Chain A
Amino acid sequence: MSEHEQAPTTSDKEVLHQFGYAQQLLRDMGGFSNFAISFSIISILTGAVTLYGVGLNAGGPVVMGIGWPLVTLFVLFVAAAMAELASAIPTSGALYHWASLLGGPSWGWMTAWLNLVGLIAAIAGIDYGCAQFMVPLLGLPDAPQYYMMVFGLLLLSHAILNHIGIRTVARLNDFSAWYHVAGVAVVVLALAFFAPKQPVSYLFTKTFTTMGDKPFWFAFLSGLLQAQWTYTGYDASAHTIEETKNARVSAPWGIYLSVAVSGLFGYLMLAFVTLGIKDLNATAAATNPFIFIFEQALGSTFGRVVLWVVTIAMWFCGLSCVTSTSRMIFAFSRDHGMPLSNVWNQVSRRFRTPAAGVWLAATLAFLLPCLIFALVAAFPKRLDFAKLYPAVTGISTIGLYLSYGIPLLLKLRAMRRGVWTARANGPWSLGNWSVPVNLIALIWIGFITVLFVLPPNELTGYIFGGALLALAIFYFVGVRGRFRGPVPQARSQAELLRLEAAFEK
């Protein structure tokens, strides 16, 4: 712990030097941009919309009225606990780096892979979802090859933009934040003025479920996947911390405020949409209940407009997700944690972006649906692609939240052992509230991890269990004893400055 028990120093670069890393990435993001990247990944217009039907079919309007704020409450605790760690250890490895310093290389390695599995599944889920919306909007035939083609083009656009620079991506993210706010405003105002409305009590008292074989309380809890999947990816503010100015303050606020602001705007949107339901049974049975509500309340033209608004929001969400994942790949391979690390840790000298990590993130995300199609083709009677898409969102949620939870657990252990003291905290700290906040966050993470692998989400459990088994075999066969965790890039300040000079030429 000694390396971060030092007093903070004047600049972001010097703080990074304390951890043994050179300033290779371009530090050009302001506080708003850092907030915007997480706000764009949470993307209330993506998660809450694509899984609206999941929530509605599980528990009805109360999943929106009560489920959303319930999840928001606990996610605020998770975000606050993560924000503290980001302020204390401001490196782009984030969760992986925190776990390595707090628990050793094995914990760090596992955290990194869980985070990567979650992020890759998130990119695939977001961009494939975007392709599913875009194919009919573009008038293309409803066939798998067209979905894959559009999916591939979306990933290509994200990879190119991420390759050419954080400045461009940051500007797009800033725009995306305002776009999301404006998108919600359009939805809310249109429904408020032109749609017939249910009474407000409808949000809190109206129950409905298509899971008739399960008790209602369980169906309601299953529906929380909608909100919980929406609240993923806000670790992006930590992954881009080496590119953020005044990092130890701006990035923690980015994590925390992205959740708080999404909570507010997401609730406004879900409340007005749900109050606009005319026929609950027909809505729940629709292919996309969210769009169905608009078509019923405001006509098919406006429904199509909303569909475009949502599709563009998903594009922004995917863009931010590739940014976040590439920084994670860069940081993990910088410490030689991945096969072929020397390939993936390459930084573009021209654009000062982790270019190899960008392309790897996009490629892996493209391969995931290919793998699912192959599995469906191999076992057509057992597997159904329509069920596999929610499973991907479940894998993403569990993978990400476990990677969020491990460093929080290790921090509590370090506090109990007296190796983490107040001196280790960064400026963004919860002081004596830290222990209860971390405990509540961990209890929630444990709860959702179990909940989202229980039936009807058992497929998520099988796939995630398989991925964990593969990781365990990989660890014991090829990694154990060899991976040393975070490795300083240089032994002296002079060496770090030489490394930086090579990029500043």
Chain B
Amino acid sequence: MGPHGLIIGVALLALVIAVAFLLGRKAEASIEQFREEHHEQFKGPENR
């Protein structure tokens, strides 16, 4: 890989962390929205 390997590796790790975080945050936001839209019907874990 040569000297570029270190840059590629660090950039890749940063990308994985960013993607994992952003996808998770997007899903979390959709759950919240769903809860608000269907609050009478949707039963979250706290109501179980």
Q: Measuring CB to CB, which residues of chain A are less than 8 angstroms from any residue of chain B?
A: 7-11, 31, 62, 65-66, 69-70, 72-73, 76-77, 80, 83, 201, 203-207, 245-246, 249-250, 252-253, 256-257, 260, 263, 267, 425-431, 433, 437
A430 touches B1 (CB 8 A): no
A80 touches B5 (CB 8 A): no
B23 touches A437 (CB 8 A): yes
A249 touches B5 (CB 8 A): no
Identify whether the interface residues of A are mostly helix, strand, loop, or mixed: helix
Known: A66-B9, A73-B19. 18 other contacts (CB 8 A): A8-B41, A9-B41, A66-B8, A69-B16, A70-B12, A73-B12, A76-B23, A204-B9, A205-B5, A206-B1, A245-B48, A246-B48, A249-B45, A257-B24, A427-B31, A427-B42, A429-B30, A431-B29
Known: A11-B43, A245-B48, A260-B20. A201 touches B27 (CB 8 A): no
Q: Which residues of B contact A80 (CB under 8 A)?
A: 23, 27
Known: A245-B48, A246-B45. A69 touches B13 (CB 8 A): yes
A66 touches B6 (CB 8 A): no
**A417–B34 alpha-carbon span in the complex (Å):** 24
Q: Smallest CB-CB separation from B42: which chain A residue?
A: A8
Q: Which residues of A contact B29 (CB under 8 A)?
A: 431
Q: How far is the CB of B4 from chain A (nearest CB, A)?
A: 8
Q: Which residues of B contact A207 (CB under 8 A)?
A: 1
Q: Which residues of A contact B3 (CB under 8 A)?
A: 205
**A427–B6 alpha-carbon span in the complex (Å):** 40
**A205–B16 alpha-carbon span in the complex (Å):** 19
B12 touches A263 (CB 8 A): no
B residues 1-39 near A (Cβ < 8 Å) are 1-3, 5-6, 8-10, 12-13, 15-16, 19-20, 23-24, 26-27, 29-31, 34-35, 38
Known: A72-B16, A430-B30. A260 touches B44 (CB 8 A): no
Which of A83, A201, A263, A431 is close to B20, meaning CB atoms less than 8 Å apart? A263
Q: Smallest CB-CB separation from A200: which chain B residue?
A: B6
**A196–B36 alpha-carbon span in the complex (Å):** 55
Q: Which residues of A contact B45 (CB under 8 A)?
A: 31, 245-246, 249-250
A69 touches B12 (CB 8 A): yes
Q: How far is the CB of A315 from chain B (nearest CB, A)?
A: 29
A–B pairs, 27, beta carbons within 8 Å? A8-B41, A10-B41, A10-B42, A11-B43, A31-B45, A65-B5, A65-B9, A66-B5, A69-B12, A69-B13, A77-B23, A201-B5, A204-B10, A207-B1, A245-B45, A246-B45, A246-B48, A250-B45, A252-B27, A256-B23, A427-B34, A427-B35, A428-B27, A429-B27, A430-B27, A430-B30, A431-B30
Q: Which residues of B contact A77 (CB under 8 A)?
A: 19, 23
Q: Which residues of B contact A72 (CB under 8 A)?
A: 16
B41 touches A246 (CB 8 A): no
B27 touches A7 (CB 8 A): no
